[in-house]
Amino acid sequence: MIHAYNSNNLSIIQNKLALMFELAVLVRKISIDDFADKLIASPICHALETADPVFVLGKSANELMALVLNEQPLSVEINDFASPEYWLGYTLAYMQWYFNKSYATLIAAFPCQELLQHYFPYHEMDIRQSIDLFASRLKIKSSLKCLRMANHLSQSQLAILSEVPLRNIRAYEQGKIDISKAQAETLYALSKVLNCSIEDLIL
């Protein structure tokens, strides 16, 4: 399996994403799903997905969270909660690296509030035990469906915005037509609306 980036950066990104979720929820008092939505909509998301050194090595978790929220950094830099929110961010970062899927895809398949319900017993296990938990979710929904849901669009809305026939979108999501065989123009139109790469649609 091809991972999202070199494993040398994995622990750094895990720690930073974990702290971002912890600070946002426990200090800034933002709901975990709201913060996830803001993260996905932010350029910081792509920077973490690709291990961009400007952000991964050059910014603290506090600074990254502030960029996501378009606010000033907090006066605190690091919390020591070892919280469920920390575990969630740590796990999401690992799954993004392992499956080479966007955070939008992962969170659409496994919304954060729902993932928190698995804190017990998974936080006590090796993180690799969570791979099957995510693998089963990612198989349930197509990439197109995950990305569409992450963008809060119905199938009809996506069809209108992308000018791709509704029947095709339904067939792609149900696996009746292999989306990787779609015309380049179709994939491009869908990726533009869903703010993703063509690779995100066909993986």
Residues for the chain: how many in total? 203
Domain ranges in the chain are 7-140, 143-202
pLDDT per residue as tens digits for the range 125-139: 989 889 878 877 886
Query: Maximum CA pair distance of the chain?
Result: 52
* Predicted pLDDT of residue 78: 60
Phi, psi of 134 (to 5 degrees): -80, -35
Residue 76 has pLDDT above 90, yes or no: no
Residue carrying the six token digits 């995510």: 134
Phi-psi region of 84 (alpha: psi -120 to 50; beta: other; left: phi over 0): alpha
Is 143-202 a CATH 3.90.550.10 domain? Answer: no
* Predicted pLDDT of residue 177: 83
How sure is the predictor about 176, in pLDDT bands with cuts at 50, 70 and 90? confident
pLDDT per residue as tens digits for the range 25-34: 999 999 999 9
* Predicted pLDDT of residue 97: 93
Mean predicted lDDT score pLDDT of the chain: 91
Residue 45 has pLDDT above 60, yes or no: yes
Q: Is residue 132 within 8 Å of 35, Cβ to Cβ?
A: no
The two tokens of residue 176 are: 């009746």
Q: Residue 53: which residues within 8 A CB-CB, separation 6 or more?
A: none
